[in-house]
Amino acid sequence: MDAISEIVAIENIGKLVSGDINQPILEADTILIRDGKIAEIGWKGEIDVEAAKTRVDAMGLVVTPGFIDPHTHMVIGDWTPIQKAIGWMEGALLAGVTTMISQGENNIGGLPMDPAGNKALAILAAKTYKKYRPGGALKVHGGALMLVEGLTEQDFKEMAEAGVWLIAEIGGCGLYKPKDVVPMVKWARKYGFKVSAHLGPVSIPLSAPLMADEIIEINPDLAVHVNGGSTSVPFAEVKKLVDDADFHLEAVFNGNPRAAVEMVDYMRKKDALDRLVIGSDTPTGNGMIPVAILRMVVQIASLNRLPAAEVIAAATGNTADTFGLNVGKIEVGREADIIILDRPAGSQGRDALEAIEIGDIPGTTLIMVDGQIVALRGRDTRQTAGCVKINGVERKVTTMEDYLWGPWKFAIDRLI
């Protein structure tokens, strides 16, 4: 989806969540977007919004960056062979995930484990998702290379030139022992790759057990499913990653929920929440959950009793920092991937943030990618108490048919 060259304004924001864990809430109520990027942030009257073709009245609701899911196992296109389902990626978009990152296309039938086949799969996935936007808008970074015996430095150079920049979770498939992968990780870093490794026991037939000392030796950018994928490790292993490393640590929805609570509590105690990243680990044999990131935000904020805005940063800005992406924060110059949330009808929370903190799952009232409105609510998100106005017209669920079958997604000409 190419950004439309136009000006968009979001006004009357109740709370503006930044995605920056060091400053979770911004003192502002207006965002101006030009050519798909955030151009100005400030107060009503300070920003000239008269030239905006599209004016979104947030009606006092909560505005946040779009969520980033750093742990998905897509294949090619918007389908999954595990659940035999089409459209799961669009479902995540409609639940507020505006960016997805692959941890390996290892769900494909006949998975090649030789260097040539593995390279070809990574290049194909990277190239196809560079052009293809599920749901018309979702940004997908596919083509995560699985490390296999026989790869050379020249292979990494060729893949980087072809647009591959991700190493799939080491331990998920292929080589995993530090003596085998550390030389490859050095080649990968030389050519700009980001590297992930998983903590935990065997989870699928081709996976391997990796513990904290081995991951520290590999030194990835991200240790994934630290709370289990889905089986957790002894908590001493988690503590070691928090205490003895400085890379980011991921908690996933398809993990052990008790281990997640213990992990986050310890990271808070060690002042390490800026290293916390939230992922889904979907679709896997544990399920295909479009609202996984939103549900994980609710789980952590409510059970760990953390401010919702800080937890949202772990699902947005922290992830963007891990992978060097220009999304995930409400900041001038960032791509304008934005969602508007509200409390579910009947919640005791006064807004989406308070609802999250008491364990109520909020709903989306607007989803925007590159400054373009692509959806209002998701198929799997809650009906909200409030709604937004677009160019002065309220957009909300009004009938049972709206709730069951729409209005999740509209063409732009119908929205404005």
| 164 closest CA partner among 187, 144, 135 | 144
21-25 long-range Cβ contacts below 8 angstroms, 24+ apart: 21/273, 21/274, 21/310, 21/313, 21/314, 21/317, 21/318, 22/274, 24/307, 24/309, 24/310, 24/312, 24/313, 25/309
pLDDT in tens, 76-131: 999 998 888 899 999 999 999 999 999 999 888 888 999 999 999 999 999 999 99
Gap between the Cα atoms of 409 and 53, Å rounded = 20
Shared-domain flag, residues 76 and 43: no
Residue 184 banded pLDDT, cuts 50, 70, 90? very high
Q: Which candidate, 381, 386, 415, 383, places its Cα nearest to that of 400?
A: 383
336 in the same domain as 404: yes
Answer whether residue 26 is part of any domain. Answer: yes
Write out the residue range of the structural domain in which residue 374 sits.
Answer: 7-65+329-415
Task: Kindly list the strands in the beta sheet with 97-102, ordered across the sheet, starting from the edge strand earlier in the chain.
Answer: 67-72, 97-102, 139-141
What was the pLDDT predicted at 406? 64
| pLDDT at residue 410 tops 60 | no
pLDDT exceeds 50 at position 202: yes
Strand partners, 352: none
Residue 186: count other Cβ atoms within 10 Å of its Cβ.
12
Helix (H) or strand (E) holding 326: none
Q: What is the pLDDT of residues 259-279, one digit of tens each?
A: 999 999 999 999 999 999 999
Same domain, 282 and 399: no
pLDDT at 405 over 80: no
Alpha carbon distance 305, 401 (integer Å):
36
Q: Which two tokens stand for residue 41?
A: 């942030």
Helix (H, G, I), strand (E, B) or coil at 3: coil
pLDDT category at 203 given cuts 50, 70, 90 is confident
Does residue 190 sit in the same domain as residue 269? yes
Instruction: Read off the pTM.
Output: 0.95
* Domain match, 57 and 165 both: no
Q: What is the mean pLDDT of residues 229-252?
A: 97
pLDDT for position 264: 98
Yes or no: say if 386 and 342 are a contact pair by the CB < 8 Å rule. Answer: yes
Average pLDDT along the chain: 93
Q: How many domains does the chain have?
A: 2
Q: State whether 61 and 209 are in the same domain.
A: no
Vertex 122, ends 322 and 175: CA angle to 5°?
75
